[in-house]
Structures are given as structure tokens and as C-alpha cells.
Chain A
Amino acid sequence: MSTETRKRPAYAHLFWWFMFANGGGLAALVLPVHILVQGILGPLRIVPVVDQHYDTWVSVLGNPIVKLYVLALVALSFFHFAHRLRYLLVDFGLHAAKSVPAQVIFYGGAVVVTLVTIWVLLTTAPITFG
């Protein structure tokens, strides 16, 4: 129909979905153990956990592989959360969540968290290969 606007692939949507899928997968695989060990077992002193003592926490955090892992975990997960929560608002009838400003807020928020993570990782626990 000549009155139709020409359709083309929505590359932005493709990218957000791609980040959503990767972030969701990574979070699904690793987040439960972190929460169980660092959030429950460690604080209750059921097992010794790295972040319960200053020297062990700093020495683990100094490892660059650990820093990269934390960055990947937080960054990808937050793109997943941003995408999912934005669409949840759409499901609740908030059509404005589809707008470009909403995308800026949500995905921009994920970018901000990523930048904060980089800053935290670079300013905490100097890099050591110990």
C-alpha cells in the first residue's frame, strides 16, 4: 500500500534486546551464588567469605580478572534490568515508557551504573596480580 511508511529493521531495539539477553543469562548463572554466599552465609558466619574481612576482600578485588568480571556482571545485568523494567511499565499501561526520553532514562541509567562501576573498580583496591 503506497500510504504505508517504509519499514526497516529497528537496530536500536535489536541492540537493547541483545544486551537484555546477555545480561539476563549472565545474571541467571552467577547472581544466586553471590547472593547466597555474600548476602546470607557470610553475614551469618556460616562459612568464611572474602568480603567479611578487609585484607581478603582487598586482595581479591585487586585482581584485574575479578575487576573485569564485576564490570561485566554489573554492566550487562543493568542493561537487562533497564530493558525489562521499562517494558514492565509498558505492560502496566504506561505508554510513555516507549518514548525516546524513557529509553534515555532507562538505558542511560544502565550506562551511568556502568560508569560508576568502572570508577569504583579503578579507585578501590589497587591492581595486583597476587
Chain B
Amino acid sequence: MAEKRITIQATRFDPDKDEKPHLQSYDIPFADESMVVLDALNHIKSYVDGSLSYRWSCRMGICGSCGMMVNGTPKLTCSAFLRDYWPHKITVEPLNNFPVIRDLVIDMDDFMHKLKSVKPWIIRKQEIPLGAGVHRQLPAQVTEFRQFSECINCMLCYSACPVYGLNDKFLGPAAIALARRYNLDSRDQGLKERLPVIAEAEGVWECSFVGECSVVCPKGVDPAKAIQQTKLDTTLRFTLPYGNRD
């Protein structure tokens, strides 16, 4: 029986040699129905063209490293099965809306900077004394923020967001979702510190609720929901005496 094969088109860009990125085709064996796009890239790098550059790590959808455009949609390549595309060719490109460093590797400094700016950690005005033990939370209190804590910082949402694509100053879906995760955490007292960042001009207000971020999120975080709820809460905070857990 003839061996099954599949064509992968991958973006190549060598900053020292190329003016701009271009696509290169690779024809590889599709030996196993469980193969994902990341497996295909690894095969290319191992056996066909060792110069292909891309990021990956856990290969199981939890580290957030392997995000790339697969046929025009931002996906984790470790979770994109070849069988869903075969026999058509698969085009793998670097994540949209980011500068390209090389091949399929993008510059993520902007995201890292934005993530840090929302202070995604528990902020306390006063640490509880050691003798008091741990912070206690009811299951209902965990449920408040649980969904937004699932973010793996894969940046697929930034890639899907046309607002970010048009304006890279926009704070962006993941950063706002994570800000909300901490603002909703009963252990946190940092809402006031995060407010100037999320409520500034390039913060939540830039979002026009396209909603594509939530569509592509591999962990079901629903950053679009987080952003809209943040808009509402921030507005109510200034128009009503709205309780926060300071």
C-alpha cells in the first residue's frame, strides 16, 4: 500500500539573508493518524531541513510555546491534527500581529511587557501573619476566577485580535483576563494598583468585542468575557459605590 504523505508549507525568514518571509514546501510521510502539525515540523527539522526554526516544549497543550498560524487560524501546533487537514496541504506561518524574528519564531517582548504591567500575582496590603496559616477560600470563591486562571500565555488570542493587529499598544486579551483573575481572587488586594493599567486609554476600552480571542483560546479562558466584565465593573465602580475587596 502506498505510503500516505502530506505537504507542509512553512514560512522561512532568515533576517541576515531575506528581505521578507516566504513559504517553503515540504512533502513528508503521514505515517500515524495521531500526528500533529508539531510532529510534522519536528520531522522536517530532524530529517529534511535542520534549519527550520520554531518554538515548542511540552507537546501536550499546556506550556503555550508552540502557537502558530495553521491555515490562517492561530493554533497550538501540538493540538492540530494532520488528519483534520489531509489530503490538503497545511500552511504554517508565524503568529499574526507579532514581529517575526526568524522562520516561525515571533518576538513576544510586547506581550511579556504587557503581562508584567498588570501585576499578575497576589498583591496584599498586609501579609497575614505566619501563625494564621494559609489563606482560606471557599469553592465558590475559587469558581469566581478559576476560568481566567487557565491561561497558558500562548498568545493565540493576541494573534486573533484585529484590534491588536491594528494597534500594538492595546493591552490585549490575555493580560486583561489575567488582571481580572487576580482582581477577582479573594486573597488579592491589588485592584487599585491594576486599575490605572486596565482602565487607561489603551486598556479595556480599545476592545470592540470581536470575540475571536475567545474562539481561538485553547484553554477556554474566554478573555472576551473577562474584558467586557472588566469594562462594566470599572464603569460601575466610578458611577456607583461599588464594593471591592480592598
Contact = CB atoms under 8 A, between A and B. Distances in A.
* Chain B interface bracket (under 10, 10 to 19, 20 to 34, 35 or more): 20 to 34
| Consensus secondary structure, chain B interface | helix
Contacts of A18: 235, 239
B238 A11 contact: yes
B208 A13 contact: no
Interface residues of A, number: 17
Given A13-B205, A91-B208, A7 B200 contact: yes
A10 B166 contact: no
B166 A90 contact: yes
A17 B208 contact: no
B195 A9 contact: yes
A87 interface: yes
A73 to B, nearest CB: 21
A10 B201 contact: yes
A93 B166 CA distance: 7
Interface string B121-132: 000000000000
A29 interface: no
Contact of B200 (A8, A16, A17, A91): A8
Contacts of B238: 9, 11, 14
Nearest to B205: A13
Contacts of A8: 196, 200
Nearest to B195: A9
B234 interface: yes
Nearest to A10: B201
A60 B65 CA distance: 64
Nearest to A18: B235
23 contacts: A7-B117, A7-B196, A7-B197, A8-B200, A9-B196, A9-B199, A10-B201, A11-B238, A13-B201, A14-B199, A14-B235, A14-B238, A17-B205, A17-B231, A17-B235, A21-B232, A90-B166, A90-B167, A91-B162, A91-B163, A91-B208, A93-B166, A95-B167
Q: Which 10 A-B pairs have the closest CB atoms?
A: A13-B205, A9-B199, A10-B201, A7-B196, A7-B200, A8-B196, A18-B235, A87-B208, A7-B197, A10-B200
Interface of A: 6-11, 13-14, 16-18, 21, 87, 90-91, 93, 95
Interface of B: 117, 162-163, 166-167, 195-197, 199-201, 203, 205, 208, 231-232, 234-235, 238-239
